[in-house]
Amino acid sequence: MIKAATLLLSCPDRPGLVATVTQRLYELGANITHADQHLDRQAQMFFQRIQFELPADAPAWPAIEAQLAPTLDALHMTWSLIPAERIKRTAILVSRQDHCLYDLLLRQRQGELRTIYTCVISNHPDTRPVAESFGLPFHHLPVTPETKAAQEAELLRLLRDYEVDLVVLARYMQILSGDFLARFGRPIINIHHSFLPAFSGERPYHRAYERGVKLIGATAHYVTEELDAGPIIEQDVTRTSHTDEIDDLIRKGRDLERLVLARAVRLHLQDRVLTYRNKTVVFG
């Protein structure tokens, strides 16, 4: 069976990067099946995503990484090699609203999202029936300002026990502390119910209604310590009018939230996103 992988690269731009990398892959016996690249001229940063195949009798992936390392490190590249057979393990965090949770679970069941869901974790018990109907463990971790540190410690323990690679906040209405983010150290994707940077924080639909906007949106982004300010992966908008009440904005917004979050999760699972300077390069 052919072995396949994705190689993600970023580094300061210089002549010959593409030629050097592709020549090294050729020397290793690789057949490049797809390649995409981007140059940020202002930052003078180069980004590339390469999919390639190797014969079935090629060395194991750690040996391939060791053979690539001298070339890529000499170019001062930040890089990662992701074997195609490696399936990411995902945990979903949610509060009371279940529309994004249902959507993610259904898309995975239908084969649209290539991941293993490990569990659903919530600060409320409301979505337990949803998780259990999909055969997933459900963990209720209530939280108050006084218990936040203990709740995050238990959350971290669960994520480590489940060997989670990715956390998705599917309308999890809690702010994760900087200490938790640093200790977890893996990607977390959030869906925010506005077109950031407009209306960050709480009650964006109500604030959009008060402002009388003609477009509302949703934004999926990586979570950082600064609220709703992490690198943006995906966004979309829909039109509104003066006839729309707050409930109409919420209904329209929920449709967007499902779509935008699913797109962002899919892009991440397919290793199509590179981050730098609080921005992303997203290879289509």
Residues with a known catalytic role: 228
Q: 156 exposed, middle or buried (CB, 10 Å; 0-12, 13-18, 19+)?
A: middle
CB atoms under 10 Å from CB of 203, counted, come to: 13
Q: Where are the alpha helices (DSSP H) in 85-147?
A: 99-109, 128-133
Q: How many CA within 13 A on the CB side of residue 157? A: 8
CB 2 within 8 A of CB 56: yes
Q: Report how far Cα 203 is from the mean position of its chain's Cα atoms.
A: 23
Q: Where are the alpha helices (DSSP H) in the chain?
A: 17-27, 61-74, 99-109, 128-133, 148-161, 178-184, 204-211, 246-269
CB atoms under 10 Å from CB of 145, counted, come to: 6
Query: Which of 284, 238, 232, 239 is closest to 261 using CA atoms?
Result: 232
Q: Rounded to 5 degrees, what angle do the CA atoms 223, 228, 229 make?
A: 80
Q: Give Cβ neighbours of residue 102 (< 8 Å, ≥ 6 apart).
A: 130
Pairing of strands 45-54, 78-83: unpaired
Which amino acid is it at 8?
A: L
The three-state secondary structure class of 174 is: coil
